[in-house]
Amino acid sequence: SQQGEEDPQALSIQEGENATMNCSYKTSINNLQWYRQNSGRGLVHLILIRSNEREKHSGRLRVTLDTSKKSSSLLITASRAADTASYFCATTLMGGYNKLIFGAGTRLAVHP
Amino acid sequence: DTGVSQNPRHKITKRGQNVTFRCDPISEHNRLYWYRQTLGQGPEFLTYFQNEAQLEKSRLLSDRFSAERPKGSFSTLEIQRTEQGDSAMYLCASSPEVGARDFFGQGTRLTVV
């Protein structure tokens, strides 16, 4: 079964607005990664946040992690049409072989 | 860093045929993973190699599926007697060590007709 669940399933915004996507998971993790996927393409790595970290930034991206609530959020600021894609969170579990467990993703559409 | 390479990018096959996909990981990465992604879903783990040893297999990997990683370099995923339900994107990823980020290939899209 899927470990992570993204919320919302779909998000539609205008260029320049901020987009926030949330991810919840069930069991203790080693780290959490966010990926982007354009339609029919491979996965592009965005950010990795470790279980002992609370926030990370990369350009227009901000990721937070709350291990007490077993949740993470991805914020994209000043969105662009090129940000249109599906976004997935993926967790690795403590003590495992570091396989990624993905949620079903959030489909983001940014309109010009 | 030439990235993870997967071939072919697309494969259309008739039901009942066998297919084989190849993944070339980043050369110094000893950890290699295969995932399957169906339309509208996130990728699901299939199997994991550390060097040439296959250390974990998902329940999704039925008897018709086999994966190898000879000499700990490239890996192949073979599906025998394909079924329409095998239609999916097959993704390969590699990483250098535990806790490091994973690098994904562009995937092989399989369509079984």
Chain A contact for B108 (CB, 8 A cutoff):
no
**B62: Cα within 13 Å, side-chain hemisphere:** 8
Q: What is the rounded CA–CA span in Å between residue A31 and residue A43?
A: 17
What is the amino acid identity at position A95? G
* Amino acid sitting at position A17: E
Of chain B, the end-to-end C-alpha distance in Å amounts to 36
Contacts of B33 in chain A (CB under 8 A): 99-100
Q: For residue range A67-76, what is the model confidence (pLDDT) as tens digits?
A: 999 999 999 9
Write down the pLDDT at residue A1. Answer: 44
Phi, psi of B86 (to 5 degrees): -80, -10
Q: Give dist(CA A110, CA A17) in Å, integer.
A: 9
Query: What's the rounded mean pLDDT across residues B41-48?
Result: 95
The answer to whether residue B1 scores a pLDDT higher than 70 is: no
SS3 B85: helix
CA B41 to chain centre: 17
pLDDT grade, residue A52 (50/70/90)? very high
Q: Are B81 and B67 in contact (CB under 8 A)?
A: no
Question: Measuring CA to CA, which residue among B99, B36, B92, B103 is closest to residue B69?
Answer: B92
Query: Cα–Cα distances in Å, from B31 out to A22, A48, A104, B48?
Result: 29, 17, 24, 7
DSSP alpha helix (H) spans, chain B: none
Mean pLDDT for A44-54 is: 95
**B67 pLDDT band (50/70/90 cuts)?**
very high
- Say whether residue B44 is in contact with chain A using an 8 A CB cutoff: yes
DSSP collapsed to 3 states, B36-91: EECCCCCCEEEEEEECCEEEEECCCCCCCEEEECHHHCCEEEEECCCCHHHCEEEE
Which stretch of A1-5, A51-55, A69-73, B40-44 has the lowest confidence by average pLDDT?
A1-5
pLDDT, position A90: 95
Do residues B111 and B12 make contact, with C-beta atoms less than 8 angstroms apart? yes
Which pLDDT score, from 0 to 100, does residue B20 have? 98
Q: What pLDDT digit, counting tens, does each position of A96-106 carry?
A: 788 999 999 99
The minimum CA-CA distance between A15 and chain B, rounded to whole Å, is: 24
More confident residue, B101 or B36: B36
What is the pLDDT at residue A97?
Answer: 82
Note the pLDDT tens digit of each residue in B16-43: 999 999 999 999 899 999 999 999 899 9
Task: Report pLDDT for B54.
Answer: 95
pLDDT at A9 (0 to 100): 93
Question: Could you tell me how far CA A76 lies from the centroid of its own chain?
Answer: 10
Determine whether the interchain pair B42/A105 forms a contact, defined as Cβ–Cβ distance below 8 Å: yes
- Spatial neighbors of A48 by CB under 8 A, at least 6 apart, are A31, A32, A33, A56, B101
Taking contacts as CB-CB distances below 8 angstroms, the residues of chain A near B106 are 41-42
